[in-house]
Structure 1
Amino acid sequence: MTLIAGLGNIGKEYENTRHNVGFMLIDLMLKDGGYSDVSSAKFQGELYKKGSLLLLKPSTYMNASGNSLKAVNDFYKPSQIIVVHDELDIAFGAMRFKNGGSSGGHNGIKSIDKLIGNGYDRVRIGIGRSDKSVIDYVLGKFDSDEMKKLDGILSHAKEAILALVNSKDIAAISSKFTLKA
């Protein structure tokens, strides 16, 4: 079983914000159809299942994402976990992959690492940096030009994630699917 968790914040005010690219990716994957809603209060998020694939959007807000992942991990015991999140230290338009490593200051990743460790695959979607405060920037909405480009990035990310689920070889997927800005 594979768990794909897209990180973000719940609520209308956070839709289309930089911090919600993980949620946006899960929403794109759900458009393929065939997923059953297996959400439960104990999972602290929206959880969908299709075959051996689980898609999760934690409802804990970003900084407590680990609570939701731990609950799903403890119940389903997936053999593979893939976390999709925004990354300030990668330019907008770029996407990178890694297994483990540090959180890089990302509070959602810190929460997950604290509760389940860091031995999972990460799909890091670049949002770049700005002169704005970090909080204002990550919680800011993408502009219309960025949204147009983001559609292609998310489609590419979806293809990469499905390939990663099949191969489980993060190095090969990174070599094939990494995007440069």
Structure 2
Amino acid sequence: YNAAVKLGVDITEITQYFDSVSICLSKGLGAPVGSLLLGSKALIDKARRWRKVLGGGMRQAGMLAAAGQYALEHHVARLAEDHDNAAYLAEQLNTLAGFDTSTFQIDTNIVYANVAEHIDLKAVAHALKEQNMLFSPGKPLRLVTHLGVTKQDIDSFISALAAEI
């Protein structure tokens, strides 16, 4: 859905080229849990069988299904806000010494940033965890915006990050 929203096309314009598609309903779409698997009847039958073999069934999942349906009906168009927030996050990261997103293309809700060698991201991650800000240190740094991330959250993160580097 992120790609479809970014390109301004219906999801079927993209998915028509694939035999199967998996759609995550959480994060950007805002459902508490869940994914959809779309494909042929034979594929879905096989997937259901494997789900049962691996113990992946749920009972009374109607409330979660309702949340997923709501997410699909109400939160797809707002993914553009996540894209805008990702661009904003990239801009703000670039204001910090030692962070650079310029070698990566920011198209949707995923931001990559190169981080200078002298920055100890593990120590920064530990310090920010104390402020209830969680990220996994990696080089390049990968950050993702979603329904639960606002511009105010980004500003708070950038301020906390700046204080720790």
TM-score (normalizing by structure 1)? 0.26
Q: Please say which structure displays the higher CA radius of gyration.
A: 2
Q: Output the TM-score relative to the length of structure 2.
A: 0.27
Structure with greater strand share of residues: 1
User: Greater RCO between the two (CA within 8 Å, min separation 6)?
Assistant: 1
